[in-house]
Amino acid sequence: MQWYVYLISIPAAVVLGQAAVAFISRPIRTAFGLRREALERLLLFSGMPLPKPRDLATSSQDIRAYDQAVSILRCAERIFADLGARFLALSESEPAVRALALLGLDMVEAGHALIDLSIVCAMAKTDSAQLRHDIDRALRAADAALAT
């Protein structure tokens, strides 16, 4: 083969390799960044207090604690719904991210688990044993879906 073919083919191979890495690495970095954000939010939410019945609030401090617990719960509902939707959108739009299921990170399952957690948070009105059980089960499912 002529020397100029080698001269042209080596830089062309390097450019094509860099383009392939850029198209694959960016969505995967986005997926793992989104996973990290979801795990941080799950960790923050796991210790949050749930609202006690409003009827039992007798002082202004109890009323403020109830209002704060309700606002935290509604904020968690919005955050988990948004994260679940972002997981599902990323899994639908990026084919490279679908390959992460082979490594243990199923983006579709994680998105559905986060949306289910959001639904459980939306149904929460006051603290009860059944609500704690439902939230714990949804948290464990979301944590298991995000594990790799």
Is 107:31 a contact under the CB 8 Å cutoff?
A: yes
- Would you state the pLDDT for residue 59? 82
- Would you state the pLDDT for residue 80? 93
pLDDT in tens, 95-129: 778 777 777 778 889 899 999 999 988 888 777 77
What is the domain partition of the chain in residue ranges?
27-146
pTM, two decimals, is 0.79
pLDDT at 145 over 80: yes
Residue 47 sits at φ, ψ, to 5 deg, of: -105, 5
User: Which is nearest to 91 in space by CA: 106, 72, 103?
Assistant: 106
pLDDT at 21 over 80: no
| DSSP line for 51-99 | PPPGGG--SHHHHHHHHHHHHHHHHHHHHHHHHHHHHHHHHHH-HHHHG
pLDDT in tens, 31-83: 889 989 999 998 888 877 777 777 777 788 888 888 888 888 899 899 999 99
- Would you state the pLDDT for residue 81? 94
